[in-house]
Structure 1
Amino acid sequence: MLPARGGTSRKIAVWGIRTTWNTVGDGEFFCPACGGDRNYRRRTGRRRFTLLGVPLMPRGEVGPVVECAGCRDRFDTDVLDHPTTTRFTAMLRDAVHTVALAVLAAGGGTAARPALEAAVGAVRNAGFQDCTEEQLETLVEALGLEEGRLPGLYDGPECCGAALSIELHEALEPLSPHLAPAGRESLLLQGARIALADGPYTPAEREVLATVGAALRLDADEISRLLAAVRSSS
């Protein structure tokens, strides 16, 4: 302790640890502290033992960490696994679009106007506001005609072909961890309502909806319960 001017005393840090940060990247992320999309800096640090404020011996490395440009809080790099709000919205929109196409294709294409209208409504509500019946008709036809991709898609006991199953999993699995249970159920129910718009579930529609539920990490009993509930209320 050294005396300060005016007769009072103040503490002087004789030794300590100082971290020197270095920026190695940047981007945009969802900041848990701010609760929204923010810019970030990816940083690494070097700790040094200091004596009277002078850095001397190295004490190891720190990080990497993600530092928010808004609140300046630092987080582990796994925070970057959470999609930004913009990215999450796009993932959800694409998921609804993929489910709608799969259910329409399972229902025999777009001949049934009620199902097509229900699909257009779901896709528009998800964010594709310019979606039209003609666009969905074209896409469903392309699914059936694309050579080598969907051969015999709805033939035989296994109605959901491997290619379509892969496409559903690719659209839904990355989204699923970021959805609350109610959100995952809602996606399945949207597909179910499209299927029921023109009558009871067909075996092919049930198979597609089971694939949707599995990709959303819903177990078989939960899928059956949800499909039965929406069927009884329609």
Structure 2
Amino acid sequence: MGPSRDRRARKACGVRTRWHTVDDGEFFCPDCGGDRNYRRRTGRRRLVVLGLPVLPRGAEDPVVECTACRGHFAPGALDHPTTAGLAAMLSEAVHTVALVVLAAGGAEARSVRETAVEVVHAAGFPECTEDQLTAHVGALGSGREVLAELELHDKLAPLASQLAVAGRESLLLGGARIALADGPYTGREREVLAAAGRLLELGAEDVDRLLAQARTPS
């Protein structure tokens, strides 16, 4: 049997997988390095003889298939946010840090409110105003510090594994800038900024360094 005949025989007989698309959407493709469309697929293997399926050979593990590069990835690939999703998470985190610092007692000073607005605008909320920030802090009521820290946990904890160190440090520095707008840190401001640092998985020494760095004029 010649080489070409061997190849035809291999094509005629073997195990083939029949894929079925369960759902689709957009995800961050590790191979493409950007946002792409995906298909989440399940599959069943069959022994094929002369082009005809004859015997089942069990199920394939579910995969996420990139429609651009056709790469197959474990379903956990969908846990990574898209580029747009990560940008939205970061903007919301900056907004929340600003609220927490304001809730720690700085909302009365106009310089603090103005700095908070600048930081939030730079993070992607250009429509945010001083009145909106103070109203949000006021809406938290008498337990505003506790509620603000709960919101801080919800917004920062998921970001810790997604951002590089520089990104996490920048987030904390934004909060420090707001706290310093009316003078040195108060005890409460230090507490909430330290809590933010822990949620961002920054060490205590790094937090101290960043809080000192924020005091140094650029």
Matched, 1:199 2:183: yes
Provide the C-alpha distance between the structure 2 equivalents of 1:110 and 1:220, rounded to a whole number of angstroms.
26
Quote the sequence identity (%): 59
8 Å Cα contact 2:179-2:185 kept in structure 1: yes
2:166 aligned with 1:170, yes or no?
no
Report the secondary structure of 2:158's partner residue: coil
State how far apart, in whole Å, the 1-side matches of 2:173 and 2:28 are. 28
Q: Corresponding residue for 1:158? A: none
Deviations 1:23-46 (A, max 9, x none): 111122111222222221110111
Distance 2:129 2:187 in 1: 27
Among candidates 19, 22, 42, match of residue 21 of structure 1: 19
Is residue 183 of structure 1 aligned with residue 171 of structure 2?
Answer: no
Conserved? CA contact 2:106–2:179, under 8 Å: no
Amino acid at match of 2:176: A
Off by >6 Å, runs of 4+ in structure 1: none
Q: Quote the residue 2:44 is aligned against.
A: 46
CA distance in 2, matches of 1:138, 1:27: 37
1:229 pairs with 2:207 = no
Q: In the TM superposition, what is the alpha-carbon distance from 1:233 to its structure 2 partner?
A: 4.0
* Shift in alpha-carbon separation, 1:181–1:11, aligned structure 2, 3 A: same
Matches within 5 A, 1:120-199: 120-143=117-140, 146-147=141-142, 149-150=143-144, 153=145, 161=146, 163-199=147-183
After superposition, give the CA deviation of every residue in 1:110-134 in whole Å (9 maximum; x if it has no partner): 2212211111011011111111122
CA RMSD of aligned residues (A): 1.9
For residue 23 of structure 2, give the secondary structure of its aligned residue in structure 1. strand
* SS across alignment from 1:174: helix
Instruction: Report how far residue 84 of structure 1 moved.
Output: 1.2
DSSP 3-state at the match of 1:91: helix
Aligned residues: 216
Per the TM alignment, residue 87 of structure 1 is displaced from its structure 2 partner at its CA by 1.3
AA aligned opposite 1:168: L
Q: Return the letter of the residue paired with 2:56.
A: P
Provide the residue aligned with 2:87 in structure 1.
Answer: 89
Deviation at 1:139, TM superposition (A): 1.7
Taking structure 1 as the reference length, the TM-score comes to 0.85
Secondary structure, in 3 states, of the residue corresponding to 1:173? helix
Counterpart residue identity of residue 92, structure 1:
L
3-state secondary structure, aligned to 2:195:
helix
Which residue is 1:157 aligned to?
Answer: none
- Given that 1:109 and 1:141 are in contact with CA atoms closer than 8 Å, whether structure 2 keeps it comes out as no
Where in structure 2 are the equivalents of 1:36-115 lying within 5 Å?
36-106=34-104, 108-115=105-112
Q: Which structure has more helix as a fraction of its residues?
A: 2
Secondary structure of 2:96 counterpart = helix
Distance 1:20 1:96, change over 3 A: same
Give 1:99's aligned amino acid: V
Cross-structure match for 2:195: 211
CA contact (8 A) 2:106 2:112 kept: no
Q: 2:99–2:148: 8 Å Cα contact kept in structure 1?
A: no
| Superposed displacement of residue 63, structure 1 | 2.0
User: Is the 2:98–2:120 Cα contact (8 Å) retained in structure 1?
Assistant: yes
TM-score by length of 2: 0.91
Aligned partner of residue 176 in structure 2, secondary structure: helix
Superposition deviation, residue 196 in structure 1: 0.9
Ranges in structure 1 where 5+ consecutive residues have no aligned partner: 154-160
The superposition leaves residues 179-220 of structure 1 with CA deviations (integer Å, 9 ceiling, x where unpaired) of 001111110111011111111100010011011111111122
